[in-house]
């Protein structure tokens, strides 16, 4: 392991540090000599291609994503019909993005979990529940914000009849 004796000189774990150094100097893993040529930088087009592929996997691979898409379309249609202001549109779109992002993270964790061995799955199942809880919390938050925006508009609309 290494730490820093000075700003320019690393301290390796095989050298004996003083007690003061141990208290204030973090130990870092041993340096590993790089093998081969450094990895070339990926162009932005490749990064975006991978990101869109990830979106596709997240959308196609999980049925709950289609439920969120359905409700997002419902919210957008209601916003058009009820004539939401710019601020309300921003809040609604932010909520939709928040829920869909939470669902994508949940899908990523589920996909990763399925690749684990049964032993690791038995020890880490709580991660799935936590991710599902995050989606639930995001959905409830979005629903409350949606109610705060739409209920006064619906009451005013019904009051006209």
More confident site: 135 or 8: 135
Question: Can you give the pTM of this predicted structure?
Answer: 0.70
All CATH 1.10.287 domain ranges in the chain, comma separated: 63-159
pLDDT value of residue 6 = 52
- Name the pLDDT band for 38 (thresholds 50, 70, 90): confident
pLDDT at position 2: 47
Asked if pLDDT for residue 25 goes beyond 90, the answer is no
Calpha distance 6→76 (Å, rounded): 58
Alpha helices by DSSP H, listed for the chain, are 19-24, 44-61, 63-82, 86-114, 118-159
What does the pLDDT average to over 120-143? 94
Q: Which of 38-52, 81-95, 114-128 has the highest mean pLDDT?
A: 81-95
Higher pLDDT, 58 or 128: 128
| Calpha distance 90→71 (Å, rounded) | 17
Q: Which residues lie below 8 Å from residue 19, measured CB to CB, with a gap of 6+?
A: none
Which CATH code for domain 63-159?
1.10.287
């Amino acid at each position: 392991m290494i730490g820093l004796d000075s700003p320019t000189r690393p301290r390796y774990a095989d050298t004996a540090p003083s007690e003061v150094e141990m208290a204030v100097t973090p130990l870092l893993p041993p340096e590993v000599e790089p093998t081969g040529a450094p990895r070339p930088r990926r162009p932005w087009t490749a990064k975006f291609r991978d990101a869109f592929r990830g979106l596709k996997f997240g959308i196609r691979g999980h049925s709950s994503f289609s439920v969120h898409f359905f409700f997002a379309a419902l919210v957008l249609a209601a916003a058009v019909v009820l004539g939401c202001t710019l601020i309300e549109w921003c809040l609604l779109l932010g909520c939709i993005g928040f829920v869909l992002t939470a669902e994508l993270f949940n899908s990523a964790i589920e996909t990763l979990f399925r690749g684990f061995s049964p032993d690791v799955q038995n020890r880490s199942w709580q991660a799935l529940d936590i991710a599902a809880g995050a989606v639930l919390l995001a959905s409830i938050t979005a629903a409350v914000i949606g109610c705060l925006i739409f209920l006064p508009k619906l009451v005013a609309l019904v009051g006209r009849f």
